[in-house]
Amino acid sequence: MQIPYFPEANHPLIKSLFHYADQELLTLVQQNPHAGRYFTAIFCRYNPIVYTLIRHSARSPVQADYLFALTWRHIYYELNGLDLNSSQFTKEGLTVQNWLINITAYCINEIQLPPTEAIHYSLKETSPPLWCYVEQALDQLPPILRLMILMAQTFRWSETRIAAYLQAEGEIIKPSEVANLLQSGYLMLEERLPKDIRVIYLGENLLQPGAA
């Protein structure tokens, strides 16, 4: 079994965080909700363990990749409420690594995966941290733009098909207008991504000192 390679692990913003302990990274995640590098650093540190556990339990590589992404999305939302000073950690001697293993086991047992042909997620195209932040940004878009982006990017619908669907739903939008609306949606989506996520994954210039 080959562990996927994630190039963000070699990005300067992530490499600069390698010396932090797990608890320090967790604190930085919780204290900096508008930054993405700290969660990404935790992902880069622990994705081999999580992927190994998942790959041995999934029926197919496609399902394994999708469950891997879903597990990291679950971890992303759970991290903000995680308290390393709670009795669970202090009395049981639980570590961040053990907690991640427990969460992975929970996701393996509880998440019902769709059949392979129904999965549209590609691990090679979208790393789990980027996926988490894109989903978060999508939730901030107007509903119609969010729907159009999903139809275009997830289902690969043409502009004509998108317009026909929207017209059937009562939205009078011409196919010629779909492209402009999609472009506006993509720009809004990018603006709502954390600045450091755009630097790491979209190749923007490195952050200026003091930027989030």
Predicted local confidence at residue 80, as pLDDT: 87
Query: DSSP readout, the chain?
Result: -PPPP-GGGGSHHHHTTTTS-HHHHHHHHHH-TT--HHHHHHHHHHHHHHHHHHHTT-SSHHHHHHHHHHHHHHHHHHHTT--TTSHHHHHH---HHHHHHHHHHHHHHH--PPPGGG----TTTS-HHHHHHHHHHHTTS-HHHHHHHHHHHTS---HHHHHHHHHHTT----HHHHHHHHHHHHHHHHHTS-HHHHHHHH-PPPPPTT--
pTM for this entry: 0.90
Q: Which residue in this structure is represented by tokens 């923007």?
A: 204
Mean pLDDT of 2-30: 95
Predicted local confidence at residue 212, as pLDDT: 43
Q: Decide if pLDDT at 209 tops 50.
A: no
Predicted local confidence at residue 206, as pLDDT: 65
Predicted local confidence at residue 211, as pLDDT: 43
Predicted local confidence at residue 20, as pLDDT: 97
Mean pLDDT of 69-95: 86
CA distances from 155 to 147, 150, 162, 171, 180 (A): 11, 7, 10, 20, 19
Q: If pLDDT is split at 50, 70 and 90, which confidence band does 210 have?
A: very low
Asked if residues 39 and 76 have their Cβ atoms less than 8 Å apart, the reply is yes
Asked if residues 36 and 197 have their Cβ atoms less than 8 Å apart, the reply is yes
Q: If pLDDT is split at 50, 70 and 90, which confidence band does 207 have?
A: very low
Q: Decide if pLDDT at 190 tops 80.
A: yes
Predicted local confidence at residue 86, as pLDDT: 79
Q: Alpha-carbon distance 127 to 131, whole Å?
A: 6
- Domain at 7-119: CATH code: 1.10.1740
Report pLDDT digits (tens) over 33-81: 999 999 999 999 999 999 999 998 888 999 999 999 999 999 999 998 8
CA distances from 175 to 116, 132, 164 (A): 31, 30, 8
Alpha carbon 140 to its chain centroid, in Å, reads: 15
- Mean pLDDT over each residue of the chain, to the nearest integer: 92
Q: Decide if pLDDT at 180 tops 60.
A: yes
